[in-house]
Amino acid sequence: MFRQNEFYLCLLLTAVLGFVSLNTDMYAQDGRWVGYSLDTLGSGVSYYDCGDGCIGHTQSNSQYVLIFDIKIGEWVLVDLGVVQIFKYLETEGNVVLAWSEDLLFGYSSSLGVWDTIHYEGTLLNDHSSQPYRSYGCSDSLAFFVTDQKFYVFDGSLGSWQQYDYGLPANFSNGLYYPKVDCIILVLQKTDLYADIINVVYSSHTQTFNKLEDGCTISQQKYDHGYAGMIDKTGMGKDFLLVGYSAFDNQFDVIPYSTGENEAAVYFYNTGTIEADTFIAYTSGFRTVVTPFILVRVKFYGYSTILGAWNTVTYDIDWEAESYYGNGNIGGQFTFDLSTEKDISHYRFFLYSARDGQFNKIHTDLVYTSTTSAFQVGGSVLCVFDAQYGWGFNPVENHGELIPLGYDHTTNFSAADDYATFCRWSPTSDTMRMYFYNSNTNKWSWIDTQKQISVGGNTTPHVYLYKTWPENKIIVYSSSHDMIMQRNFPDSIYVYSKINGVLAYARSEHQSFLFNTEKCSVHEKDFEFNQNGLGTMSAAFFNTTGKILHGYSSLTDQWTTHTISEEPYYCYDPGYIGLISAWVGMNGFGKFYTYNGLADSWVELISQGNYVSHLVGNRTALVIQSTHLYAFDPYAQTNFNEEQKNLIQAGFTLQQNYPNPFNSSTTIDYELTNPSRVVLKIYNMFGQEIRILTNEYQTAGKWSVTWDGRDSNNQPTSSGIYIYQIKAGNSLQSRRMILLKSDNL
């Protein structure tokens, strides 16, 4: 099975790929808008969407799908040969999905390739939203399920995969979960307690799998798989524990029948947990061995990264310890609890999904119904009683106790790696806000005006609290374990918001922007626009003076731009901000783009009348009546350009041979037209290894050999590599495997 070290390598790959893509492209200067005419490209309803690295567009009656990939920086026209009756188009992350009456289209901006397939059967479930519709996208996968086959477009392959999963005759309902590295189908039958079918696809193994006797998914946020328990008959006797890990694409199933005086122990998600990762699940069974003397509990814990059930059995002295069975699920751990009967000290039964181990923790905190409570987060468990607060990280197995001031508690919450609550007293005008950080294993606090009825806003790594009427803003960053605060003038109503690493608080005449990664605070003398806060950048306008303000979290700098029109609308979801301005009576008559990747403003000079617009993480799209405009954030010039000729693939790229290879391999390609050709080798971290070709070449067949060495003529290690060719404005990639002789 795919185990823990491979999981952390996967996370590292994700982090490094993101880092490399952003920083290598920071050499871009401004960005530009690229437009083209909508003439002769189809008719009917337009379908379009923006993802992270690409934009998709088509029309209900068209033989084309249009793609704008920010790696290429140009529109790519895919000619399907015949007119299609399109029904849908969606873009998520780095994949595009479109489907017509009989054709599926998928595009991968990771590889710069597309693929189509004619599907069989009828769409299984058409619904307005997940998890009830049998099609959709994640960041790297797209799927489409009919009553005959399960189709998946894998962005790492750039091609469609299909599987004849066998729909049961008594099928009643389906639930469909697109994840970053897997697609999960839960197919239910007419009989509520009949076998539930689970069908999965894993991008790690690039294969399908099926479990005829599966389970439902109680926690939809699961990453890298899922786990659950089902009562097979509804009588509380025969159970099935099901776990699935996408890393090895395998199920781990345990049937369990309860004995005499034995009942199931259910674990619940106690609320909306703001966490980065959800990988833990636990079920249990409680047996009264000897009434009022001995209780035995058996726990089963499943980790989607480890891919296996672990179990432990505890004997509980019923005369000394009370245990009733009521478990809780966090992000990376689970826990159940008991209390001593004499002093009611808390005892915790913890399961860590990081290493699959169980641990029983004894504490000195005292349970009472009025002066104690607990909260669970991603990697944090926090408990308080009348005198002390205790923060614990079950994943790292460390904790810290702190004596508490005041005698009442309010505003208790937990997120990915921190927990917070306030302590107050009826005799005091102030209260103390506590924070426990599970990474640093430290407590911090700040005193503020008492306001017990007002809670803060919680995200995985940021907490924002606002007092009123004094309007003090308190922001906590778990990334740096730091508290920041600012004050507004009295009697001014203040709005606040968190998005990604950024947070703001704004009033009519004053605003503060908090960067929780850099722990910086920026003040402006106007009110920030409601939708201008992105996860990594911000775009606002000040109508006084008609000044546009753009902020990049990468540089921690502001860039302003003065315009002659009156600004109207502002939106920024990620790195790109879009502000429209009035032209006559049209509030969307003109657009200005803030590029948070290059810290620049770019004006869109467009043709036609405004129709619609969308903004993705690093993409933006403006649709006019006669033209379509895509924003290229990595262009080295600041101008708008209408693309005269839509780009089609101008070459054919073959699979390298031999593959896998030991000392050298050959890459063949054929150019349709003469053009400048750049052929590069990348490793799986997205780092450039070597440039094999960078020259103008004539049309015809070409062949290049790679000797497995990098640009410094040093031999590279065994592994998977990407070779990518760009000819003119077309781009394609393929994977190859270098396997040194000592690995054979």
Query: What is the Cα–Cα distance from 108 to 384, expressed in whole angstroms?
Result: 49
Task: Estimate to the nearest angstrom the gap between the alpha carbon of 7 and the chain centroid.
Answer: 16
Tell me the CB-side half-sphere exposure of residue 12, using CA atoms within 13 A. Answer: 8
CB 519 within 8 A of CB 484: yes
Query: What is the Cα–Cα distance from 154 to 141, expressed in whole angstroms?
Result: 5
Q: Please state, as a whole number, how many other Cβ atoms lie within 10 Å of the Cβ of residue 122.
A: 9
CB contact set of 156 (below 8 Å; sequence gap of 6+): 108, 110, 111, 140, 203, 206
Query: What is the Cα–Cα distance from 86 to 98, expressed in whole angstroms?
Result: 7
What 204-208 contacts at long range (C-beta under 8 Å, 24+ apart), as own/partner pairs, is 204/2, 204/10, 204/246, 204/247, 204/248, 204/249, 205/248, 205/249, 206/154, 206/156, 206/157, 206/161, 207/249, 208/150, 208/152, 208/161, 208/163, 208/165
What SS3 class is residue 427?
Answer: coil
Task: Estimate to the nearest angstrom the gap between the alpha carbon of 288 and the chain centroid.
Answer: 43
One-character DSSP codes across 110-145 = TTTEEEEEE--S-BS---SSTTSSSEEE-SSEEEEE
Buried/exposed code over 165-182 (b: 16+ C-beta within 10 A; e: otherwise): bebeeeeeebbbbbbebb
Most distant CA pair in the chain: distance in Å?
Answer: 88
CB 494 within 8 A of CB 527: no
Rg for the chain, CA atoms, rounded: 29
pLDDT at 385 (0 to 100): 95
pLDDT at 435 (0 to 100): 98
What SS3 class is residue 173?
Answer: strand
Phi/psi region, residue 179 (left: phi>0; alpha: psi -120 to 50; beta: rest), is: beta
Q: What is the DSSP letter of 489?
A: P
pLDDT at 635 (0 to 100): 80
Phi/psi region, residue 206 (left: phi>0; alpha: psi -120 to 50; beta: rest), is: left
Q: Where are the alpha helices (DSSP H) in 211-275?
A: none
Q: What separation in angstroms does the CA of 489 have from each of 448, 464, 526?
A: 16, 18, 13
Mean pLDDT split into 10-residue runs, the chain, 744 residues: 34 32 38 89 94 95 94 87 96 96 94 92 90 95 97 94 94 94 95 89 97 90 95 92 97 96 89 89 95 94 97 94 90 94 91 96 90 95 96 96 94 96 94 97 95 90 89 94 92 90 94 96 95 97 93 96 95 97 94 95 92 96 95 72 50 86 91 84 80 88 93 88 79 80 50
pLDDT at 418 (0 to 100): 97
Q: What separation in angstroms does the CA of 239 have from each of 77, 116, 214, 323, 440?
A: 53, 42, 11, 22, 40
Across-strand partners of 612?
623
Q: What's the 3-state SS for 197-211?
A: EEEEEECCCCEEEEE
Q: What separation in angstroms does the CA of 277 have from each of 175, 330, 520?
A: 21, 9, 27
Structure tokens at 445: 């606090």
Cis upstream peptide for 715 (omega within 30°)? no
Phi, then psi, of 311 in degrees rounded to 5: -140, 155
pLDDT at 271 (0 to 100): 66
Query: What is the Cα–Cα distance from 439 to 332, expressed in whole angstroms?
Result: 14
Phi, then psi, of 21 in degrees rounded to 5: -65, -35
pLDDT at 685 (0 to 100): 61
CA quadruple 175, 177, 183, 184: dihedral sign: negative
Q: Which helix (H) or strand (E) holds 537?
A: strand 537-542
